[in-house]
Amino acid sequence: MKSVMPGNVVNTDMTVQAVDDCLTVYVTDIAYTEGGDGFVSDIEGRMVGMITDAYQRTTGDTNWSFISAEDIAVAAEAIVEEKTPVTFGIRGKDMENGKGIYVTEVQLKSPAYHGGVRVADVIDSIDGNKIRSMKDLSLCLSTHERGDRITVGLCRSCSGKQKKKSVKVELK
């Protein structure tokens, strides 16, 4: 079955946390209908995103939203190349002024967990390279393979003081 629903993007300022990434989500003025997954194309027919209802808690449940094609490109490329993306195992929020990633969740038994990364740490580098955002983290991880060991630079608050720390993490 094929269908086309014309609509407009009404919100471009939303992001959602994903494990080891942060996704840009666009909200449309197209009324939500259950089971209506698919692709979004622009006026010239270029695919610009994938419709999802996975983030309704963030976007609301009255209109359709979609993830940008750029955000799913790395995962799609890995699937085509039959390559399993590496896992670090955190969710985080970009700090203001590009000062790193504030860790909001560390997945149990993940490489980050075993390496010593904790909730409320601020990750600011990997292998000496600045990490300013979740996008930087995702891009950095895409250059690694399972089994690679990385050095994660972070700041941790201890007794009200910020301490710089480095931890070694073996990616899975």
Q: Are 88 and 102 in contact (CB under 8 A)?
A: no
pLDDT in tens, 67-93: 999 888 877 887 888 888 899 999 999
Rounded CA-CA distance 91/72 in Å is: 17
- 30's CB contacts (< 8 A; 6+ apart) are 5, 7, 63, 64
The one-letter amino acid at 103: V
Rounded CA-CA distance 59/119 in Å is: 25
Average pLDDT of the chain to the nearest whole number: 91
- pLDDT at position 2 is 62
Q: What pTM was computed for the model?
A: 0.82
Rounded CA-CA distance 75/146 in Å is: 15
What Cα–Cα distance (Å) separates residue 106 from each residue in 14, 19, 22, 43, 69?
22, 9, 15, 40, 26
Rounded CA-CA distance 26/51 in Å is: 9
All domains of the chain in start order, with CATH: 9-80 (no CATH), 90-170 (2.30.42.10)
- pLDDT at position 73 is 84
**How far is CA 26 from its chain centroid?**
15
Closest alpha carbon to 128 in 98, 152, 94, 97:
152
The residue ranking higher by pLDDT, 163 or 76, is 163
Taking 60 as the threshold, does the pLDDT of residue 1 lie above it? no
Q: Are 15 and 32 in contact (CB under 8 A)?
A: no
Percent of the chain with pLDDT over 90: 64
pLDDT in tens, 9-64: 999 989 899 999 989 999 999 888 887 778 999 999 999 999 988 888 888 888 88
